[in-house]
């Protein structure tokens, strides 16, 4: 019993102990639960604080304008991901000012590193991590600074306040040159400077190839590349080597724009004269190499086309330029092509299989330079003879037509006056040099006309070396015609009237007459002799230029007028050109008129097609008529200036205009059925007078009255000459067959018809002068009214201008002189009748 009863107390304690242990376990569990809850709360708080810190940092970054990036790719690079400038801006924004000054402080750490450490601390779950998280969270939270949403405006300086309020500003001397904004350059100027620097660098590379120590091949390639750049690297594929007209040559607008840009940069860099010196240093223009000579000729021709680019050469390098042009022209004008230094002419002979250029590279390079000159319009318009001599002559023409203000006295002197040369040999001026080229071409014309009378063709590619180059003659005439204005009017010099020059001009006129397209409609078999068949050609342009030049010389130079008036061959050639040109113009006009009448009957579509035909015939008619009027003006002017000699020569002329193209009459007409010059003039006079009355043609009326003036000038002042004139007019007096309007203008006597025409011409001239004076008076009246209004306002200069205008006469003195001459001629002729 005792054993059984004893365990009671122990059981009680055991249960109590068990109960106590259970309570302790429960308490411990509760404490553990509370601790776990506390840890979770702490972690949640840390997470909340961390999230708040992240959100605050993100909002601060957004507010600061910093680009967002993840922590994984937050690298300090110069790319699009992140920049060290962004990190620096974040540190300045988010860190404490005191800590920011210390590089070892917590705030000096990267914001992404702190966030990443905080996240790692939460995932560990131990006390250290929690403590670190707390510390980090606390530190991070404390380090956040709210940015200033309204940054303060920059403070105004004392000078700005003075300028703003204006107090004391008069006591301060402002130095505008110290303004830093004045030294700022625009983007355009910076870009321009960069382009010029690169342009100069590229050119310097090519300039090194022009050194005289370089090999010839390197100098060639450098010069050709510079010419390509100078002319804009044109597209040469569209050029037609057999083009019959310069209009067939294609123009490259892109190349023109690039060339203009290159020239602008070349001028802006002041490299025009230097590049010319480099060309000369490479022995270009010295006759050493044909490619180098052609390249410098293209360079000079390109620069002289414009006054702005020609000035550096004409003023800074004129003596060198003059020597180069003289040398090129002299060497290219040698008679034998073996001695001639004209690579482009040799290339033409090679293409005609008359000469052999062995080097393929030379042929290709010369052809490229020639094509560049063609497409850049460096030859004269309509050129088909692309030689170095013609290119240099075209450069001389460009030089002489430059504005007078761009040409110094030294340039004018070298152009027109001979200079003293070495060994007492005068150096010929450009004018005399070009005149010498014209004389040499006249000698070729004489020899070729002799060969033509012997049965050879006048113009053939096989004889290109022995026939005159008509384009060379044309360019020479243009240069001489322009130069005579300066020679006579400014320098008071004269063109030497030598027999050699006069004979050369005469031979050129004969050659141009035979080469001109006068064959259309004269004879059935003559149409195939002219390639153009009545269209304008270079030969007609030469006749036009020669007659104009001779007319000017006869007007201002007594020696030339006397020589021309005494030359039977010259006046006979002028008379033949007048008759042939008038016949050709009449045939073309009649052909166009017949085509218009035929197609007008077919309908409107045919009329539109006929407009194209008229456009085709119109240039030919105009050029023929120019030759007609210039030749007639030359004959009339010789009768006025040298009356007796011109009348004797004109009376001795006997020609048959229908003998054009006959070999035996190429120099002088030897036909049996020849007529006197007076009879031929009277025949054209009556024809044109009838045409003017029948068709109301003002051009025919003017020509008819002009011929009447020439015939009357021949007859006035001498009874014997008057009787000769009467006989010629009566011999050509037409028989009227009921032509409408003709009976009113053709009298029973040829001399009466002539007298009516001269008096009518005088009235027309008087009416034209009155109309011109009326227009001038009306214009002067308007100017006077403007001057009076200005004078009322106190402008004394306008008043003086008004007085000058009232006293001056604005009539054309040449027209006044011609009108008075015709009036006096009509009075004298009426008295003699």
The model's pLDDT over 667-723, given as tens digits with 9 standing for 90+, comes to: 888 888 899 999 999 999 999 999 998 888 889 999 999 999 999 999 988 889 999
Tokens 């949640």: give the residue.
44
Tokens of 149: 């949403």
pLDDT digits (tens, 9 = 90+) for 434-492: 999 999 999 999 999 999 999 999 988 888 889 999 999 999 999 999 999 999 998 99
pLDDT digits (tens, 9 = 90+) for 181-226: 555 566 776 666 777 788 888 888 899 999 989 999 999 999 999 9
> CA 269 → CA 104, 368, 782, distances in Å?
58, 27, 49
Report the C-alpha gap between 15 and 772 in whole angstroms. 151
Residue whose token pair is 């983007």: 187
Pick the more confident residue, 618 or 456. 456
**Across 70-74, 413-417, 425-429, 638-642, least confident range:** 70-74
Return d(Cα 663, Cα 668) in angstroms, integer: 10
Phi, psi of 270 (to 5 degrees): 55, 50
Q: Buried (b) or exposed (e) across 791-805, using 16+ Cβ within 10 A?
A: beeeeeebeebbeeb
| Confidence at residue 27, expressed as pLDDT on a 0 to 100 scale | 47
Cβ-contact 506, 575 below 8 angstroms: no
What band does 391 get if pLDDT is binned at 50, 70 and 90? very high
For Cα atoms 427, 441, 321, give the angle at the middle one, nearest 5 degrees.
35
Contact 687, 742 (CB under 8 A): no
Q: Write phi, then psi, for 652 (nearest 5 degrees).
A: -85, -5
Question: What residues does 676 pair with on adjacent strands?
Answer: 654
Least confident of 264-278, 379-393, 611-625, 746-760: 611-625
What residues does 387 pair with on adjacent strands? none
Q: What is the C-alpha to C-alpha distance for residues 347 and 816, in angstroms, rounded to an integer?
A: 54
* Percent of the chain clearing pLDDT 70 (strictly above): 66
Closest of 80, 73, 107 to residue 93, by C-alpha: 107
> Residue 59: its pLDDT value, please?
52
Q: What is the distance between the alpha carbons of residues 107 and 674, in angstroms, rounded to a whole number?
A: 123
591, 613 Cβ separation under 8 angstroms: no
CA-closest candidate to residue 437, choices 552, 348, 329: 329
Q: Which helix (H) or strand (E) holds 756?
A: helix 750-792
**Residue-level pLDDT at 190:** 65
Q: Can you tell me the distance from the alpha carbon of 555 to that of 636, in angstroms, rounded to the nearest whole number?
A: 11
How many Å apart are CA 319 and CA 427, to the nearest integer? 13
524 has a pLDDT exceeding 50: no
CB 90 within 8 A of CB 112: no
How far from 830 is each of 80, 339, 755, CA to CA, in Å? 105, 65, 7
Query: Which phi-psi region, left, alpha or beta, contains residue 294 (left: φ > 0; alpha: ψ -120 to 50)?
Result: alpha
Q: Is the pLDDT of residue 427 over 70?
A: yes
pLDDT given at position 559: 94
Question: How many whole angstroms separate alpha carbon 196 and alpha carbon 271?
Answer: 12
Whether the per-residue pLDDT at 3 is higher than 50: the answer is: no
Q: What is the pLDDT of residue 50?
A: 52
Q: For residue 378, what is the DSSP state?
A: -
By residue count, the chain amounts to 833
Q: Is 555's pLDDT higher than 50?
A: yes
pLDDT digits (tens, 9 = 90+) for 773-832: 888 788 877 776 666 776 666 555 444 544 444 444 556 677 777 888 888 888 888 888
Q: Burial letters for 545-565: b for 16+ Cβ neighbours within 10 Å, e otherwise?
A: bbbbbbbbbbebbeebbbbbb
- DSSP labels, 586-603: HHHHHHHHHHHHHHHHH-
More confident residue, 234 or 251: 234
Cα dihedral 164, 166, 170, 171 sign: negative
Q: How far is CA 781 from CA 145, 619, 692, 808, in A?
A: 87, 40, 38, 13
45-59 confidence digits (pLDDT tens): 555 555 555 455 555
- Characterize 242-280 residue by residue with b for buried, 16 or more Cβ atoms within 10 angstroms of its Cβ, and e for exposed: eeeeeeebeebeebbebbeebbebbbeeebbbbbbebbb
Domains of the chain by residue range: 38-68+81-143, 191-236+243-407, 409-648, 699-832
* Higher-confidence position of 343 and 773: 343
**CB-based contact 703:656 (threshold 8 Å):** no
Q: Nearest 5 degrees, angle CA 696-CA 697-CA 703?
A: 135
**Structural element, H or E, at residue 655:** strand 654-655
Strands 675-676 and 654-655: antiparallel
Which DSSP string do the residues of 768-802 spell out, in sequence order?
HHHHHHHHHHHHHHHHHHHHHHHHHTT-HHHHHHH
* Non-local CB neighbours of 426 within 8 Å, separated by 6+ positions: 418, 419, 420
State the greatest distance between any 2 C-alpha atoms of the chain, in Å, as a whole number. Answer: 204
Helix intervals (H) in 642-676: 643-651
Confidence band of 497 (pLDDT split at 50, 70, 90): confident
- Examine the pLDDT at 21 and tell me if it is beyond 60: no
Containing 515, the helix (H) or strand (E) segment is helix 499-515
Round to whole Å and give the CA distance between 824 and 759: 10
Residue among 565, 584, 445 nearest 506 (CA): 445
| pLDDT of 300 above 80 | yes
Q: Tell me the sheet residues that pair with 427.
A: 419
Give whole-number Cα distances, 543 to 227, 668, 804, in Å.
Answer: 36, 17, 43
Asked if 345 and 332 touch (Cβ cutoff 8 Å), the reply is: yes
Q: Is 544 helix (H, G, I), strand (E, B) or coil?
A: helix
pLDDT tens, residue by residue, 244-299: 444 445 678 899 999 999 999 899 889 999 999 999 999 999 999 999 999 999 99
Exposure b/e, 628-642, CB count within 10 A at least 16 = b: bbbbbbbbbbbbbbb
Closest to 115 in 3D by CA, of 72, 60, 59: 72
Give me the mean pLDDT over the 417-424 stretch: 70
Q: Which of 53, 54, 55, 82 is nearest to 67 (CA)?
A: 82
pLDDT for the residue numbered 47: 53
Q: Would you give the DSSP letter of residue 419? A: B
Q: Do 634 and 554 touch, CB atoms closer than 8 A?
A: yes
The pLDDT > 90 percentage for the chain reads 42
CB 672 within 8 A of CB 590: no
The CB-side HSE value for 350 (13 A sphere, CA atoms) comes to: 18
Q: What is the pLDDT of residue 174?
A: 54
Is the Cβ–Cβ distance between 417 and 486 less than 8 Å? no
Torsion of CA 640, 642, 646, 647, to 10 degrees: 70
The alpha carbons of the chain give a radius of gyration, in whole angstroms, of 49
- Is the predicted pLDDT of residue 167 greater than 80, yes or no? no
């Amino acid at each position: 019993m005792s054993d059984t009863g004893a365990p009671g107390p122990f059981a009680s304690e055991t249960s109590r102990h068990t109960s106590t242990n259970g309570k302790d376990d429960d308490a411990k569990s509760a404490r553990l639960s509370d601790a776990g809850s506390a840890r979770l709360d702490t972690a949640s708080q840390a997470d909340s604080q961390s999230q708040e810190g992240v959100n605050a940092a993100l909002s601060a970054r957004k507010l600061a304008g910093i680009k967002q990036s993840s922590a994984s790719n937050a690298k300090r690079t110069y790319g699009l991901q992140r920049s060290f400038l962004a990190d620096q801006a974040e540190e300045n924004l988010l860190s404490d000012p005191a800590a920011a000054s210390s590089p070892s402080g917590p705030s000096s750490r990267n914001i992404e590193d702190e966030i990443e450490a905080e996240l790692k601390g939460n995932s560990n779950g131990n006390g250290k991590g929690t403590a670190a998280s707390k510390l980090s969270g606390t530190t991070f939270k404390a380090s956040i600074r709210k940015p200033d949403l309204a940054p303060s405006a920059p403070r105004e300086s004392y000078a700005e306040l003075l300028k703003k309020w204006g107090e004391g500003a008069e006591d301060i001397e402002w130095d505008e040159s110290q303004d830093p904004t004045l030294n700022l350059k625009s983007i355009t100027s910076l870009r321009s400077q960069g382009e010029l620097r690169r342009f100069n660098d590229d050119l310097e590379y090519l300039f090194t190839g022009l050194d005289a120590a370089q090999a010839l091949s390197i100098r060639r390639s450098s010069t050709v590349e510079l010419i390509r750049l100078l002319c804009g690297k044109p597209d040469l594929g569209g050029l037609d080597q057999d083009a019959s007209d310069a209009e067939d040559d294609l123009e490259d607008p892109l190349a023109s724009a690039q060339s203009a840009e290159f020239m602008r940069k070349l001028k802006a860099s002041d490299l025009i004269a230097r590049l010319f010196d480099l060309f000369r240093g490479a022995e270009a223009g010295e006759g050493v190499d044909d490619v180098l000579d052609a390249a410098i000729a293209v360079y000079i021709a390109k620069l002289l086309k414009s006054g702005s680019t020609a000035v550096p050469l004409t003023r800074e390098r004129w003596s060198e330029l003059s020597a180069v042009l003289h040398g090129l022209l002299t060497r290219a004008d040698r008679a034998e092509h073996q001695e001639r230094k004209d690579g482009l002419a040799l290339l033409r002979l090679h293409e005609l299989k008359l000469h052999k250029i062995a080097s393929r590279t030379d042929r290709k390079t010369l052809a490229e330079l020639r094509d560049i000159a063609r497409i850049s319009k460096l030859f004269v318009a309509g050129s088909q003879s692309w030689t170095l001599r013609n290119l240099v002559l075209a450069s001389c023409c460009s030089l002489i037509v430059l504005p007078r203000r761009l040409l110094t006295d030294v340039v004018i002197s070298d152009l027109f006056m001979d200079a003293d040369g070495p060994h007492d040999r005068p150096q010929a001026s450009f004018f005399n040099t070009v005149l010498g080229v014209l004389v040499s071409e006249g000698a070729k014309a004489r020899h070729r006309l002799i060969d033509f009378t012997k049965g050879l063709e006048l113009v053939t590619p096989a004889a290109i070396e022995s026939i005159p180059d008509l384009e060379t003659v044309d360019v020479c005439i243009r240069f001489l015609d322009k130069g005579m204005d300066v020679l006579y009017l400014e320098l008071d010099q004269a063109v030497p009237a030598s027999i050699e020059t006069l004979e050369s001009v005469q031979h050129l006129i004969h050659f141009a007459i035979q080469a001109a397209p006068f064959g259309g409609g004269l004879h059935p078999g003559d149409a195939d002799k002219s390639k153009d068949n009545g269209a304008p050609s270079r030969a007609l342009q030469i006749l036009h230029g020669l007659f104009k030049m001779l007319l000017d010389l006869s007007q201002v130079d007594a020696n030339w007028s006397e020589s021309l008036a005494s030359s039977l061959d010259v006046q006979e050639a002028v008379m033949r050109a007048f008759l042939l040109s008038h016949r050709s113009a009449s045939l073309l006009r009649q052909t166009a008129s017949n085509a218009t009448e035929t197609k007008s009957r077919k309908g409107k579509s045919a009329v539109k097609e006929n407009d194209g035909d008229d456009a085709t015939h119109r240039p030919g008619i105009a050029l023929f008529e120019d030759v007609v009027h210039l030749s007639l003006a030359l004959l009339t002017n010789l009768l006025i200036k040298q009356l007796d000699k011109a009348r004797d020569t004109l009376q001795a002329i006997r020609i048959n205009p229908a003998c054009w193209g006959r070999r035996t009459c190429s120099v002088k007409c030897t036909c049996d059925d020849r007529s006197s010059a007076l009879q031929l003039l009277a025949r054209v006079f009556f024809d044109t007078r009838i045409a003017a009355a029948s068709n109301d043609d003002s051009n025919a009326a003017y020509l008819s009255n002009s011929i009447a003036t020439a015939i009357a000038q021949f007859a006035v002042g001498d009874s014997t000459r008057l009787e000769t004139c009467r006989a010629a007019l009566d011999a050509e007096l037409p028989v009227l067959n009921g032509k409408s309007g003709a009976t009113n203008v053709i009298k029973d006597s040829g001399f009466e018809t002539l007298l009516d025409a001269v008096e009518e011409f005088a009235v027309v001239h008087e009416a034209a002068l009155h109309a011109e004076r009326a227009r001038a008076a009306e214009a002067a009246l308007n100017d006077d009214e403007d001057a009076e209004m200005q004078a009322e306002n106190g402008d004394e200069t306008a008043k003086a201008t008004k007085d000058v205008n009232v006293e001056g006469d604005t009539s054309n003195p040449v027209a006044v002189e011609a009108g008075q001459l015709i009036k006096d001629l009509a009075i004298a002729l009426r008295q003699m009748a």
